[in-house]
């Protein structure tokens, strides 16, 4: 792409003037500062932006690489940094959370009020025997209490692990066991799109499966008022337990490397990995990205539409905005209820100035507003907006320009933020008051972050050549290990192919030949991205073969206009393959529901096809490339002569 053919979108003078990173020279100066003194760059910001109980003297400890440590001898508390210090700075009566419920009810919580809630819940956890270092699994909807539960864990030094409310009993159980959790915080149910859906009943099912032996109790938040069974001696209502708790709770000061949370995500094997994050380094990047990428200011209203069940909800709902003393919107519902204008109405009502969402949401709202002018963003007053963000998957240029023009009124920079559960915060992203934007490119690395595109040997490729995305240096908010599996951590992220020196992101990328801008070309492993949700193909295959009817299964992705990628499953049954449409439909539904039960509705395949066998080489290897072609409906031009059983391709054509 030559510079003449590319249309850049430049920030307005006003935006540049007031931005934390003001203009490209400022961005380059930050990069140069980090280049000249890498540790000094991060140490200075860690000292300026975090309140430490005990200051650190060491910055980066590489003695046990790739188990890097940052600020290791410093002591701090994240909840103190998010709440108490805002109050000490005079923000006690400032609104921290604007909670909008599914039904539209709005509740505002000030910093002072939030601190009281957090302290009471922290005291309840302590009263129930939760101690520093214990793991607490949180299986809760998007509510103030969800944020409070996370902050309460941080306050007492317990490590939380959120399980997204859309995951199944089986998935919840596996995570409780893997984390060795001593406490579960859940809710009777959750409201989504006008419906009350159960959570406690699923949690009961998870515990009834057995194996959760470390668990000492279950705390239940009453959200929907739906009927639940409370097990005497095990379960306790949150409101009852909290009622008598004191309103203050001394923060537990922990070392900077203390695990703040574990968050499970999909990898290339059947078993999700517990990504372990630190306290100090993680908090630093949460704050710094709020400042540089979102240019957060005191009078902003920030809204990240993610769920606390994903890393985006951790960094850009629970921790980043609060650690900056910002006002943020927390939304319980879905973008299409009561209609597809919900996001725009909420931006209008709450005067949101920074809005951060996922391409899938944008694409579905484009579709809805194409046929219904009433839900088109232009039907709302969105003049409060000044910065837009995108996260979770590549944003296609058409969606980007629609977002820019119709939501941002052509005046708001879009920060297309590339990052991962493992990275803790933004890695490659524009700076809103500096970077000229190109739709579809996440542009340049965050200041201090040193990403590169390399070949299979780890050698850096020239711009213009696609390859493997890596990070050349450890950074403060990086994953510390996979919970309980150091070996898998090293293998997955610091492979021997790169002499253990490069962080392997798992994505392919290409840098533009002239600008050096990064474009992410998609995962290079067996991980799919469906509506911005990460799903391992092996995980879905394991779920399918766990069904007694299934002999073998292979799962691949295929591009999808709405969800980015869609899951396609090729299945061999133990019995006869269904051939008539009715029987096929029935079997598809049965298997799809099964996957929903095993993992969660988000993992249900969009397309399930049956064959007498899978295409395999003579050595028995499943030819996934072929399956990907079949999934896309492509004419097969590949040589299939090595196939042991070419006839089954017809069956799997769909």
Binding residues for ATP, by number, are: 392-394, 416-421, 507, 523, 534
**In the complex, least distance from residue 366 CB atom to ligand PRX, rounded to whole angstroms:** 18
Rounded to whole angstroms, the Cα distance separating 77 from 383 reads 37
Is 191 in contact with 142 (CB distance < 8 Å)? no
CA nearest 172: which of 527, 538, 592, 598?
Answer: 598
| Cβ 303 to ligand PRX shortest distance, Å | 16
| Cβ at position 605, least distance to ligand PRX in Å | 19
Min dist CB 511 to ligand PRX, Å, is: 14
d(CA 264, CA 163): 8
Nearer to ligand PRX, 507 or 526 (CB): 507
Q: Pick from 293, 289, 288, 320: which is nearest to 430 by CA?
A: 293
The CA angle 52-316-348, to the nearest 5 degrees, is: 130
Cα separation, 70 vs 59, in Å, equals 5
CA distances 506 to 65, 125, 183, 525, 565, Å, are 20, 37, 33, 6, 16
- Which of 161/417 has CB closer to ligand PRX? 417
**Could you tell me whether strands 607-610 and 564-573 are parallel, antiparallel, or unpaired per DSSP bridges?**
parallel
Report the distance separating Cα 519 and Cα 512, nearest Å. 8
Q: Environment class of residue 457 by beta-carbon count within 10 Å: exposed (0-12), middle (13-18) or buried (19+)?
A: exposed
Minimum distance of ligand PRX from residue 440's CB (angstroms): 9
Q: Which residue has the tokens 């302290």?
A: 119
| Minimum distance, C-beta of residue 237 to ligand PRX, in the bound complex (Å) | 33
Q: How far is the CB of 26 from ligand PRX (least distance, A)?
A: 23
Tokens of 63: 């003695």
Q: Which residue is nearest to ligand PRX (CB)?
A: 421
How far apart are the C-alpha atoms of 496 and 481, rounded to whole Å? 16
Q: Which is nearer to ligand PRX, 188 or 416 (CB)?
A: 416
Residue 353 three-state SS:
coil
Give the residue ranges of the annotated binding site for Mg(2+): 545, 550
The closest alpha carbon to 221, from 184, 176, 181, belongs to: 184
Q: Which is nearer to ligand PRX, 336 or 420 (CB)?
A: 420
* Residue 583 CB contacts under 8 Å (≥ 6 apart), including other chains: none
**Choice between 358 and 434, CB closer to ligand PRX:** 358
List Cβ neighbours of 595 (8 Å cut-off, separation of 6 or more). Answer: 540, 543, 544, 603, 604, 605
Phi/psi for 473 (5° steps) reads: -135, 150
**Rounded Cα distance, 478 and 458, in Å:** 20
Cβ atoms within 10 Å of 200's Cβ, excluding its own: 25
Question: CA 652 → CA 228, 314, 528, 566, distances in Å?
Answer: 44, 41, 20, 17
CB of 1 to ligand PRX, least distance (A): 17
Which residue positions form the known binding site? 192-195, 312, 392-394, 416-421, 507, 523, 531, 534, 545, 550
**Toward ligand PRX, which CB reaches closer, 310 or 380?**
310
Nearer to ligand PRX, 139 or 418 (CB): 418
Q: Which residues bind ligand PRX (CB under 6 A)?
A: 265, 311-312, 391-394, 416-421, 442, 505-507, 520, 523, 529, 534
Which lies closer to ligand PRX via its Cβ, residue 174 or residue 393? 393
Looking at beta carbons only, is 323 or 469 nearer to ligand PRX?
A: 469
- The pair of structure tokens assigned to 226 is 């739906």
Which lies closer to ligand PRX via its Cβ, residue 74 or residue 394? 394
DSSP H helices, 372-438, are: 397-402
Binding-site residue set for CoA:
192-195, 312, 531
Rounded Cα–Cα distance for residues 100 and 349 (Å) = 11
Report yes or no: 390 and 403 within 8 Å, Cβ to Cβ.
Answer: yes
CA distance 377 to 362: 11
Nearer to ligand PRX, 198 or 522 (CB): 522
Nearer to ligand PRX (CB atom), residue 98 or residue 520: 520
Tell me the C-alpha distance between 167 and 220, whole Å: 17
- Pairing verdict, β 195-198 and 189-192: antiparallel
* CA gap 490, 620 in Å, rounded: 29
To ligand PRX, the closest distance from the beta carbon of 387 in angstroms equals 15
CA distance 506 to 469: 7
Cα separation, 152 vs 135, in Å, equals 12
* Shortest distance (Å) from residue 523 CB to ligand PRX: 5
Report how far apart, in Å, the C-alpha atoms of 633 and of each of 525, 559, 637, 647 are.
22, 11, 12, 17
Residue 281 near residue 476 (C-beta atoms within 8 A):
yes
Quote the least distance from Cβ 139 to ligand PRX, whole Å: 18
- CB closer to ligand PRX, 562 vs 636: 562
User: From CA 239, how far away is CA 260, in angstroms rounded?
Assistant: 25
What's the min distance (Å) between Cβ of 275 and ligand PRX? 8
Q: Which is nearer to ligand PRX, 377 or 392 (CB)?
A: 392
């Amino acid at each position: 792409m030559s510079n003449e053919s590319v249309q850049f979108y430049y920030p307005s003078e006003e935006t540049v003037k007031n931005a934390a990173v003001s203009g490209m020279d400022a961005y380059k100066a930050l990069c140069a500062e980090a280049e000249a003194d890498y540790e000094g760059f991060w140490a200075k910001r860690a000292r300026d932006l975090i309140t430490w109980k005990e200051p650190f003297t060491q910055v980066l400890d590489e003695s046990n690489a790739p188990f890097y440590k940052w600020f290791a001898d410093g002591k701090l508390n994240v909840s103190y940094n998010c709440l108490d210090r805002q109050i000490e700075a005079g923000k006690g009566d400032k609104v921290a959370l604007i909670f909008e419920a599914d039904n539209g009810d709005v509740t505002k919580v000030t910093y002072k009020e939030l601190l009281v809630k957090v302290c009471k819940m922290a005291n309840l956890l302590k009263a129930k025997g939760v101690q520093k270092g214990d793991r607490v699994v949180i299986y809760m909807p998007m509510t103030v209490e969800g944020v409070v539960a996370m902050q309460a864990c941080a306050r007492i030094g317990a490590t939380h692990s959120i399980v997204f409310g859309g995951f199944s009993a089986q998935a919840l159980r596996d995570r409780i066991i893997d984390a060795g959790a001593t406490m579960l915080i859940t809710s009777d149910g959750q409201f989504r799109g006008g419906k009350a859906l159960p959570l406690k009943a699923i949690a009961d099912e998870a515990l009834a499966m057995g194996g959760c032996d470390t668990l000492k109790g279950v705390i239940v938040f009453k959200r929907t008022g739906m009927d639940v069974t409370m097990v005497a001696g095990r379960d306790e209502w949150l409101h009852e337990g909290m009622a008598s708790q004191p309103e203050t709770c001394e923060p537990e000061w922990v070392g900077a490397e203390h695990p703040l949370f574990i968050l499970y995500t999909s990898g290339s094997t059947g078993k999700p990995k517990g990504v372990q994050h630190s306290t100090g380094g993680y908090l630093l990047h949460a704050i710094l990205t709020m400042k540089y990428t979102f240019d957060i200011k005191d009078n902003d209203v920030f809204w990240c539409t993610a769920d606390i069940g994903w890393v985006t909800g951790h960094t850009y709902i629970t921790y980043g905005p609060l650690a900056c003393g910002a006002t943020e919107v927390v939304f319980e519902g879905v973008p299409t209820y009561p209609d597809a204008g919900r996001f725009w109405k909420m931006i209008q009502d709450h005067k949101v100035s920074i809005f951060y969402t996922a391409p899938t949401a944008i694409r579905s709202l484009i579709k809805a507003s194409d046929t219904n002018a009433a839900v088109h963003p232009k039907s709302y007053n969105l003049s409060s907006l000044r910065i837009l963000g995108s996260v979770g998957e590549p944003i296609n240029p058409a969606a980007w320009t629609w977002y820019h023009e119709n939501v941002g009124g052509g005046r708001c920079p879009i920060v297309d933020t590339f990052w991962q559960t493992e990275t803790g915060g933004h890695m490659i992203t524009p700076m809103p008051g500096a970077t000229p934007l190109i739709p579809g490119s996440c542009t340049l690395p965050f200041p201090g972050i040193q990403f590169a595109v390399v070949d299979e040997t780890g050698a850096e490729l020239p711009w213009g050549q696609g390859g493997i995305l890596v990070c050349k240096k450890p950074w403060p908010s990086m994953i510390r290990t996979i919970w309980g599996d150091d070996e898998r951590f090293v293998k997955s992220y610091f492979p021997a192919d790169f002499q253990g020196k490069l962080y392997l992101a798992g994505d392919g990328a290409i840098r533009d030949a002239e600008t050096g801008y990064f474009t992410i070309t998609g995962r290079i492993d067996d991980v799919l991205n469906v509506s911005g949700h990460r799903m391992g193909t092996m995980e879905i295959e394991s779920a399918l073969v766990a069904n007694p009817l299934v002999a073998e299964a292979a799962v691949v992705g295929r591009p999808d206009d709405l969800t980015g990628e869609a899951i396609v499953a090729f299945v061999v049954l133990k019995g006869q393959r269904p051939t008539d449409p009715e029987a096929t439909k029935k079997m598809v539904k049965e298997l799809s529901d099964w996957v929903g039960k095993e993992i969660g509705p988000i993992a249900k395949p969009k397309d399930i096809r049956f064959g007498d066998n899978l295409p395999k080489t003579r050595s028995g290897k499943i030819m996934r490339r072929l399956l990907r072609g079949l999934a896309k409906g492509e004419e097969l031009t590949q040589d299939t002569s090595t196939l042991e059983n070419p006839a089954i391709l017809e069956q799997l054509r769909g």
